[in-house]
Structure 1
């Protein structure tokens, strides 16, 4: 008879309720960004659209978030192998890279302000406002991801994340990869449509 932790038990449909909830959250975020990017395209075609260069930091941020996805996957692999010191190190690196990404976004917004690109209000243009919304809403979700990574890191310090208790790290990894993929989509979208 196999021993399963309370966390690993699944619901009646065979899917753990937390995994199901995470996928519902991901689907709702996808729908929200699909609406934002669709509105971006429609509004751009209406005219009165200011063309400006995207902040150069966005490319660096793209590299940072890809690296953070790699460290998150390495953390997941370390948990599977019960390599606790590597797990903690990779989660710490993921956390640091996530914070670096947010700092980069802040510098990107500062560059927009220096170029007189503002969010809403008098003298603003919808193109700038859309850029603030797309990057800001993604940044908000990245903060929630950082909280999730921090909780997983703290759990790993108490040896609650390991090969026989993978739910927390699995959920964290899926969400973090999703945020990275979402950013790649936004960056490519903005490069093509800006």
Structure 2
């Protein structure tokens, strides 16, 4: 039996939405643990102070823009504006890729300033920065993969007002990733 993603026979929360919220909660707990460990370890001393890579400003702008275009795609789907869905999802994907490219450049900036991950010559402050940005980057890659799936579905006319679950899930996860980056960026600015 084939069912539409929007059908919910139980009358409760859609199982995919419930699963996504469980994933989001676990990611929040993980980053809560990371940032708590960061604060505790920083207070122990032997903490190298260095400037955050300047490209973080650009990557922050990119993730905010991508969240805006993702919301515009969602709004277009509710109105069955199929051309706008494709355009805004494409922009979201491009901004996400630019964000990741910027993060890789930030790591290059860190290496050029002799700030490494782990090893005898490294300092825990650099290692924490690599972990925080790297794990977020991993989750953003998973978001880009799902975004690509939704984008392909939009070109097959499978994203519209009567079939919203895909784009709802994608929008929720994408906004979460954007909010998570803003939290990490401001956390690092205040605690670095």
Q: How much does 1:11 deviate?
A: 5.4
Alignment length (residue pairs):
190
Q: Mind listing any 5+ residue stretches in structure 2 that lack a counterpart?
A: none
Give, in angstroms, the shift of residue 13 of structure 1.
Answer: 5.7
CA contact 1:11–1:17 (8 Å) conserved in 2: no
Deviation at 1:151, TM superposition (A): 0.2
CA drift of 1:185 comes to: 0.2
The yes-or-no answer on 1:175 pairing with 2:173 is yes
Instruction: Give the structure 2 partner of residue 124 of structure 1.
Output: 122
Stretches of structure 1 lacking an aligned partner (at least 5 in a row): none
3-state SS of 2:24 partner? helix
- Counterpart check, 1:46 vs 2:44: yes
CA-CA distance at 1:122 after TM superposition: 1.6
1:164-183 CA-to-partner distances (Å, cap 9, x unmatched) read 10000000000000000000
Q: CA RMSD for the aligned pairs? A: 0.9
Say if 2:12 is the partner of 1:14: yes
The one-character-per-residue Cα deviations of 1:11-36 (angstroms, maximum 9, x if unpaired) are: 53610000000000000000000000
TM-score after normalising by structure 2? 0.97
SS in 2 for 1:160: coil
Q: 1:158 aligns with which of 144, 156, 159?
A: 156
Matched ranges for 1:58-73 at <5 A: 58-73=56-71
TM-score (norm 1): 0.96
